[in-house]
C-alpha cells in the first residue's frame, strides 16, 4: 500500500489507515510496533482491519462508518409510565 505514514501522524485519512493495515498484514511491521509507533489501541487497529478487509478503502472512511457497520439489535423499549 506504499510507504508508512510518519510516526507523529494525527490526522488519519483513508490511505494512511490502509497503509498501516497493509503493512501489518504484509509483515512489514508487527502489530505491536504499529500500535506503539502510532499510539493506537488494538481495538482501533482491529476496527480498521475489519473495515478494510470487508469493504476496502471506502470502509475506512470515518464519514461512512455507519453504512459499513453491521446493524445492532434494537434496544428494548421502556414501558411508558
CATH number, domain of 43, equals 1.10.10.10
Confidence of residue 62 (pLDDT cuts 50, 70, 90): confident
Residue 72 inside a domain? The answer is no
Q: Is residue 56 part of a domain?
A: yes
Residue at 34 is within a domain: yes
Q: CA-based diameter of the chain, in Å? A: 59
- Look-up of cell digits 462508518: 65
Determine the pLDDT at residue 31: 98
- Residue position matching grid coordinates 497503509: 19
Distance between CA atoms of residues 29 and 35, nearest Å: 10
Is 76 within a domain?
no
Domain assignment present for residue 73? The answer is: no
Does residue 52 fall inside a structural domain?
A: yes
The number of folded domains in the chain is 1
Instruction: Tell me, yes or no, whether 78 lies in a domain.
Output: no
Q: Which pTM does this prediction carry? A: 0.74
Amino acid at each position: 500500500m506504499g510507504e508508512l505514514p510518519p510516526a507523529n501522524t494525527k490526522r488519519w485519512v483513508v490511505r494512511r489507515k490502509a497503509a498501516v493495515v497493509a503493512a501489518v498484514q504484509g509483515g512489514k511491521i508487527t502489530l505491536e510496533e504499529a500500535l506503539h509507533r502510532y499510539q493506537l489501541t488494538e481495538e482501533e487497529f482491529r476496527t480498521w482491519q475489519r473495515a478494510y478487509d470487508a469493504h476496502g478503502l471506502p470502509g475506512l472512511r470515518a464519514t461512512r462508518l455507519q453504512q459499513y457497520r453491521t446493524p445492532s439489535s434494537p434496544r428494548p423499549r421502556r414501558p411508558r409510565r
